[in-house]
Chain A
């Protein structure tokens, strides 16, 4: 049948990669499993636009978006005070050098578009170059650079 999509094959091939990504960002097993399912459902819904040459790129980016949205929602539910947040950031540095960056980004995520959050994570946390981030997100390198500048400006205001 035209348009038939073998969900089992898709999940079997890309599931491990997507689940690892969700675990990495969410740090919660149950939530990661749930987010992983979200990712595949979204891809199936958008299959007509799927870049079938490199579906892993799209899946990884969607996984990042899904997880960041969950982190944002988590932050909205918790609504920690600025003092608590600053204390978390201060403590995190002693445990893991990347944790403070992640927490600071969490704070920024509530104030910037979803695509900027994804760009920041791919660049600062994952270590992709601007060109690689552009390829993953479908934006131009100039646009990626501009978004990061805007984020840095916000960060300067925070510190």
Chain B
């Protein structure tokens, strides 16, 4: 229990979706560990999601929207695609279960392990976009478009192991470090490290959100990636791991 003011539903919904600005998300992430009522509210939202999907209500809404859009603008540029598949539902349910289970386990505040961390520095991502004259540094939240060639840099800040991946508006995951393999890899001991491969943005809509998850020991990638697709990572990370994010907005082209 807590005597602090309740968090409005809308903020909790957006927190679960990973769409609260960091300044608003951080206090909620901290509070989850000490506020059982808040944890219950989050779990209830997860159960509600599952229930709405299991009863076909979300599919019904998608069908209705598809029909209305098709009727309203049969020649428009909007291409309606059905994305839902049985495998996706299973994956989403699994990811949500992982996230909730981890949240439930994390009943005490996380503590950072010491090691060779650089005091005051946190791991971070930097993205560079190829331009005609060379490259430009992108700001978090910058607008990007299909065909943009971006290169990812990371600041390890003394963390030993890490993984970098991105999730796009279709919730498709792209692994950047390592490109293959199921475990976090050793990070270079340099102030900033550029990945060898550039990454070309495709036509996925809405956004491309990059995650840099670090720890002092090797860790499995799959549960982290699944959790990132279903809920804010800050709520789902096991003890000892931390993450940095970097979002690109995808330009909507009619």
Q: A residues engaging B (CB < 8 A)?
A: 1-17, 19-21, 24, 33-34, 36-37, 40-41, 44-45, 47-57, 60, 122, 126-128, 132, 136
Contact = CB atoms under 8 A, between A and B. Distances in A.
Interface stretch (B62-70, B97-105, B121-129): B62-70
B23 to A, nearest CB: 11
Given A33-B61, A52-B252, A53-B141, A6 B81 contact: yes
B78 A50 contact: no
Given A16-B49, A37-B65, A9 B171 contact: yes
B110 to A, nearest CB: 25
Interface stretch (B190-198, B202-210, B233-241): B202-210
Contacts of A13: 17, 171
B114 interface: no
A1 B207 contact: no
B108 interface: no
Interface in B26-79: 45, 48-49, 52-53, 57-58, 60-62, 64-66, 68-69, 72, 77-79
B146 interface: yes
A6 B169 contact: yes
B247 interface: yes
A21 B146 CA distance: 33
Contacts, number: 159
A132 B84 CA distance: 33
A125 to B, nearest CB: 9
Nearest to A122: B10
Given A37-B64, A40-B61, A48-B252, A14 B17 contact: yes
Contact of A52 (B5, B8, B207): B207
A11 B58 contact: yes
Contacts of A20: 9, 13, 45, 48
Contact of A2 (B5, B45, B83, B146): B146
B4 interface: no
A15 B206 contact: no
B84 A127 contact: no
B69 A44 contact: yes
Nearest to A43: B65
B254 interface: yes
A55 B57 CA distance: 21
B14 A57 contact: yes
A52 B206 contact: yes
Contact of A41 (B13, B17, B45, B72): B72
25 contacts: A3-B254, A4-B77, A4-B78, A4-B203, A6-B83, A6-B205, A11-B58, A12-B58, A12-B84, A12-B88, A12-B92, A13-B171, A14-B17, A15-B57, A15-B61, A16-B49, A41-B68, A44-B78, A52-B207, A55-B206, A56-B13, A60-B13, A127-B8, A132-B11, A136-B10
